Amino acid sequence: MTLSKVRVGVLGAGAWAEHAHIPGFLRDPRCEVVAIADPVIERARAFAERFGIPEAYASHEAIIGRGDIDLVDVCTPSATHFDLSMAALEAGKHVLCEKPVAYDYLETRRAAAIAAAKGLRTKLGFTFRYAPAMRYMKALIDEGFVGEPFIFNGYEQNSQWLDPMNPLRQVDHEADQSVIQVSSLEGYGAPIMDLGHLFMGSRFKEVVGTMRNFIPERMVRATNTMMRMNIDDGDIFIGEFASGALGSIQTSFVTVGNYPGLEARVYGSKGALICRLVEENGVCESLKAASADSVEFRELEVPERFYPPGGHKRESWRSLFYANLVGSLISEIRGEVPGNEGNFEDGAHVQELINAVELSYRERRWVPIPLAAERTP
Ligand SMILES: NC(=O)c1ccc[n+]([C@@H]2O[C@H](COP(=O)([O-])OP(=O)(O)OC[C@H]3O[C@@H](n4cnc5c(N)ncnc54)[C@H](O)[C@@H]3O)[C@@H](O)[C@H]2O)c1
User: pLDDT (tens digit, 9 = 90+) per residue, 327-361?
Assistant: 999 999 999 999 999 999 999 999 999 999 999 99
Does residue 125 line the site of ligand 1, with CB under 6 A? yes
Per-residue model confidence as pLDDT tens digits over 125-159? 999 999 999 999 999 999 999 999 999 999 999 99
Nearest to 266 by CA among 127, 133, 137, 130: 137
* Ligand 1 probe mutation, 8, 57, 60, 98, most atoms within 8 A of CB: 98
Does residue 262 line the site of ligand 1, with CB under 6 A? no
Please report, for residues 35, 84, 86, 89, 119, the alpha-carbon distance to residue 92 in angstroms, rounded to integers and kept in the order given. Answer: 17, 13, 10, 5, 9
Distance CA 154, CA 218 (A): 27
- For residue 76, the CA-to-ligand 1 centroid distance in Å is 3
Q: Does a cis peptide bond (omega within 30 degrees of 0) precede residue 370?
A: yes
- For residue 293, the CA-to-ligand 1 centroid distance in Å is 47
**Rounded to two decimals, what is the model's pTM?**
0.96
Q: Mean pLDDT throughout 198-221? A: 97
Q: Mean pLDDT throughout 109-135? A: 98
Distance CA 329, CA 135 (A): 15
* Ligand 1 probe mutation, 42, 75, 108, most atoms within 8 A of CB: 75
Please report, for residues 166, 185, 259, the alpha-carbon distance to residue 221 in angstroms, rounded to integers and kept in the order given. Answer: 9, 20, 21
> 106-138: b or e for each residue (b if 16 or more CB lie within 10 Å)?
ebbbbbbebbeeeebbbbbbbbbbbbbbbbbbb
Q: Mean pLDDT throughout 264-279? A: 98
Does residue 98 line the site of ligand 1, with CB under 6 A? yes
SS3 at position 270: coil
> What is the per-residue pLDDT for 170?
81
Distance CA 241, CA 369 (A): 10
Report how far apart the first and last C-alpha atoms of the chain are (Å, whole number). 51
| Residue 1 pLDDT greater than 60, yes or no | no
Per-residue model confidence as pLDDT tens digits over 43-93? 999 999 999 999 999 999 999 999 999 999 999 999 999 999 999 999 999
Nearest to 97 by CA among 82, 115, 118, 114: 82
Pairing of strands 31-37, 6-11: parallel
Q: In what order do the strands lie in the sheet with 55-57?
A: 55-57, 31-37, 6-11, 71-74, 94-97, 122-124
Contact 243, 201 (CB under 8 A): yes
Contact 278, 260 (CB under 8 A): yes
Distance CA 185, CA 131 (A): 21
* Mean pLDDT score across all residues of the chain: 96
> What is the per-residue pLDDT for 375?
67
| Residue 377 pLDDT greater than 80, yes or no | no
Which residue CA neighbors atom 28 of ligand 1 most closely? 76
Does residue 342 line the site of ligand 1, with CB under 6 A? no
| Residue 2 pLDDT greater than 60, yes or no | no
| Residue 374 pLDDT greater than 80, yes or no | no
Contact 251, 230 (CB under 8 A): no
All structural domains of the chain? 6-120 (3.40.50.720), 129-313+348-363 (3.30.360.10)
SS3 at position 251: strand
> What is the per-residue pLDDT for 52?
98
Please report, for residues 117, 122, 155, 370, 371, the alpha-carbon distance to residue 110 in angstroms, rounded to integers and kept in the order given. Answer: 11, 13, 29, 16, 15
| Residue 3 pLDDT greater than 90, yes or no | no
Q: Could you tell me the pLDDT band of residue 320, with boundaries at 50, 70 and 90? A: very high
Pairing of strands 234-241, 271-278: unpaired
Does residue 12 line the site of ligand 1, with CB under 6 A? yes
Q: Mean pLDDT throughout 187-197? A: 98
| Residue 247 pLDDT greater than 90, yes or no | yes
